[in-house]
Each structure stands twice: as structure tokens, then as C-alpha cells.
């Protein structure tokens, strides 16, 4: 990040104008209108620092990693492993060996479901919740169908919070091997009490996986403080590239887990009689890894750390407060979830309007929101809503954009009346 922006943050100033200038796409016009990008929860925009870091590697330093004794390969390998170190620092992990690169957070959850899931014993159960993204539901359905483990679903309250009393009931018999829940809902914006959930799970002998795909973007995450056992997040929501996700796992658990995919780089030895898996984390990184993407993720982490995760969280807290105040004045708008601890994600429905029609109308004035069920069909069913529009904030979102969305929704209400 540029020195001026870093200096501004050190002086306690969140320099939003400078931050927005780092994102080339934000200067675009959409049908002659200023772009108001409110779909960062699906995939965030990329600062030029990330774009340039990836281009620089491909132009001057690209080679395959872990495979060559020549200069380019060795330097690319060093850069790739430096990215692993940056992730470990970002998560406050105890060791770089606890960081496994995957193609996405979806792939990381599937890795745990397949590999750690194979260690669950007959009669054990996995607990998920009603507010999960399909990526944290379907792999557990697949595990249940494959192995016969029980899948228990924890309820969500009317306020959109995890029902901790129901979670306690689901854990009570001591048969749960793993709890897998979101750290922040991609629909409700709810931030779950992760450390409390970890204590509840551990007291009953269960491990905890947190899906941090949304949370890791908006606030500092500390693996030691959260006390979970697995944590996943993805690069493209953290202002980095697509094609790379992260699994953090406690080293003692990862070392017990069998490989997920087979191929090159995940082996220590191969003969015609069989193979020996490589040590962790290589054991879980079969094939040519996402080299350029790892460099992009490293640049993205450097970018947000230079601004400061506390500063980002404070900025987005102001946006959330403003949005909640504006939504409260809008008649005919149903907002899903009103949790006390929430991030910058708002799913809403407008009376007499289908979500896709509302999103199309907003697009005409330059506002980009997602419409549909946001890969969370059971959650929409829980609240009796067919589909919603979702506005999700990033570090570049402004209070003026929040106001513009509210004004546009007011006009849309009259249009669909």
C-alpha cells in the first residue's frame, strides 16, 4: 500500500478517498451512472496493488513451485511459501504448517468433511445450523449419505441469531464429533459468538469448524482467541483473486487426517505397491497449486493490514449503523435478521416486487446488489421468504452510497406499489 495511506492510518485516519482511488473499477460509469457496488459479499473488488502483484509475477517471475532447482522456480516457491506465512500471520496461527491452500472456502470445507469426516465413528453426529451457506451444508449431507453419521440442524431465532439453547440440546448427549457453523452469515449479517460456541462444543468433546468466508473480511480473526479447531476463508472476498481459499486447522488434527485428493506434491514416496503421504500441509495440496493466486492473496492481506482491520471494522460499523437507521424508516421493506452483533450484509424483500425485478431496477441507477437466495435456501425457507435482494459492504463503501440505496428503495416502493 502507498506510504501516504499507511501514514494516514498511523495517524488514526481512515482515508476513504485514497482507498477508493486504489480500486480502478470504482471509477466506472454504469449506463452513465456512478457505480455503487454493494455486492462485495459475493466477490469483492480488487485494488491495483493486488492486480499489479499478480501481473508482476506473471511478467517477470513465474514458474512452477516445489519442483525446480533453477532460479525462477526457487524464487516462485519462496514467494508462494511467503504467502502461506502472511496467512498464518493474518490468522494469528501457531504455525505456518497449519495453513492449507485450497481452491476456495467451499473446497476447504469439503476437505474437512471428507478427511476429518472419515475419522468420525459410527453413531457420532455433526451439527450445522439453519443459517449456513450451501457450502457448509451440502458436504455434510454428502458425508451423512456416505457414512451414515447423523446430521443435526441447530435452529436460528426470529432475530436471526444462532439459538444457543438449541445448540446445547444438540450437544447434550456427547455424540457430536464436529460442529460446523458460520462465523458471519452471508444473508443475515449475524456474527455468531464463536468463542462461546467453541467452549460449548469442547465441553462435550466436539470439534468446531468456523466458516469465516464473510467474517475474515470485516474484522480481525485470531485463531487462539476463537479457540476453534478449523477455520476457512476465501481470497476473492478479501479483495484478492478467485481460485484460492484457506483452511486453517490445528496441527495435531491435520496430522491425523488422511489426504483428500491424490496426485503430485502430496506424496512423500510412490511405488507400484502404494504411496506414503507428504507431511502437512503438502499432504492436502495435490497437483500444481494456485501460484499466482497465492501471490494475489498475499498482496490483499498486506493491503488490509496496512489499513488496519480495526479501522476497517470501525468504518463498516458506521455503515451498518447508518443502514439500520435508514432501513427502519422504509415502509414495505422486510429485513431478514436483526442480530445485535452483525456485519455489513443486509438481505431484504420489497412488498409486491420479486427480488430479481427490484435488483434490475436498482441496476438502472448504478446500484449493484445480489438477488435470489444467496446459496442459502433453507434459511430463506426458515423466514418464509422466497427470495431477497442483498446489499453487502466493503471497505470502500461510503455512507453516501448507503443513503443512495435507501433513497432508491423508497422510489422502488412507489414504483411497485
Backbone angles phi, psi at 110, to 5 degrees: -60, -35
Buried b / exposed e along 385-414 (16+ C-beta atoms within 10 A): bebbbbbbbbbbbeeebbebbbebbbebbe
**What are the Cα distances from residue 334, in Å, to 192, 369, 384, 385?**
22, 16, 11, 9
Which of 119, 115, 121 is CA-nearest to residue 139?
A: 115
154 in catalytic set: no
List the catalytic residue out of 154, 228, 375, 389: 375
Residue 127 near residue 135, CB atoms below 8 Å: no
Count other Cβ atoms within 10 Å, centred on residue 59: 9
How far is the C-alpha of 305 from the C-alpha of 52, rounded, in Å?
A: 18
- Find all residues with CB under 8 Å of 192, minimum gap 6, and list them: 161, 162, 181, 182, 183, 184, 185, 210
Cell numbers standing for residue 411: 422510489
With 0-12 / 13-18 / 19 or more C-beta atoms within 10 angstroms meaning exposed / middle / buried, residue 110 is buried
- What is the set of active-site residues? 375
Amino acid at each position: 500500500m502507498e506510504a501516504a495511506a499507511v501514514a494516514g492510518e498511523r495517524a488514526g485516519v481512515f482515508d476513504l478517498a485514497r482507498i477508493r482511488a486504489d480500486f480502478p473499477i470504482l471509477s466506472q460509469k454504469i449506463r452513465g451512472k456512478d457505480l455503487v457496488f454493494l455486492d462485495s459479499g459475493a466477490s469483492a473488488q480488487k485494488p491495483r496493488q493486488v492486480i499489479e502483484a499478480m501481473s508482476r509475477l506473471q511478467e517477470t517471475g513465474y514458474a512452477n513451485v516445489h519442483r525446480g532447482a533453477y532460479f525462477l522456480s526457487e524464487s516462485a516457491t519462496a514467494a508462494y511459501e511467503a504467502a502461506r506465512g502472511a496467512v498464518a500471520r493474518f490468522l494469528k496461527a501457531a504455525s505456518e504448517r497449519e495453513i492449507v491452500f485450497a481452491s476456495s472456502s467451499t473446497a476447504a470445507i469439503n476437505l474437512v468433511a471428507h478427511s476429518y469426516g472419515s475419522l468420525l465413528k459410527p453413531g457420532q453426529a455433526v451439527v450445522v445450523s439453519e443459517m449456513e451457506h450451501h457450502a457448509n451444508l451440502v458436504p455434510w449431507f454428502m458425508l451423512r449419505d456416505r457414512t451414515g453419521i447423523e446430521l443435526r440442524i441447530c435452529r436460528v431465532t426470529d432475530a436471526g441469531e444462532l439459538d444457543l439453547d438449541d445448540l446445547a440440546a444438540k450437544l447434550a448427549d456427547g455424540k457430536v464429533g464436529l460442529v460446523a457453523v458460520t462465523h458471519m452469515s452471508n444473508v443475515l449479517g449475524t456474527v455468531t459468538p464463536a468463542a462461546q460456541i467453541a467452549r460449548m462444543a469442547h465441553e462435550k468433546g466436539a470439534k468446531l469448524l468456523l466458516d469465516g468466508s464473510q467474517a475474515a473480511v470485516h474484522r480481525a480473526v485470531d485463531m487462539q482467541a476463537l479457540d476453534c479447531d478449523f477455520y476457512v476463508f476465501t481470497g476473492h472476498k478479501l479483495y484478492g483473486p478467485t481460485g484460492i481459499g484457506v483452511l486453517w486447522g490445528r496441527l495435531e488434527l491435520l496430522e491425523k487426517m488422511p489426504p483428500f485428493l491424490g496426485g503430485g506434491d502430496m506424496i512423500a514416496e510412490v511405488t507400484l505397491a502404494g504411496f506414503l503421504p507428504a507431511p502437512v500441509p503438502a499432504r492436502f495440496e495435490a497437483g500444481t497449486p494456485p501460484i499466482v493466486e497465492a501471490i494475489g492473496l498475499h498482496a490483499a492481506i498486506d493491503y488490509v493490514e496496512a489499513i488496519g482491520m480495526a479501522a476497517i471494522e470501525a468504518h463498516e460499523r458506521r455503515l451498518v449503523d447508518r443502514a439500520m437507521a435508514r432501513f427502519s424508516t422504509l415502509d414495505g421493506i422486510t429485513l431478514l435478521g436483526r442480530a445485535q452483533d452483525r456485519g455489513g450484509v443486509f438481505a431484504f424483500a420489497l412488498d409486491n416486487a420479486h427480488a430479481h425485478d427490484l435488483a434490475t431496477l436498482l441496476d438502472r441507477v448504478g446500484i449493484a446488489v445480489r438477488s435470489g437466495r444467496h446459496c442459502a435456501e433453507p434459511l430463506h425457507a426458515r423466514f418464509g421468504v422466497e427470495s431477497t435482494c442483498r446489499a453487502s459492504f466493503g471497505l470502500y463503501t461510503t455512507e453516501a452510497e448507503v443513503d443512495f440505496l435507501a433513497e432508491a428503495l423508497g422510489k422502488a416502493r412507489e414504483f411497485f406499489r
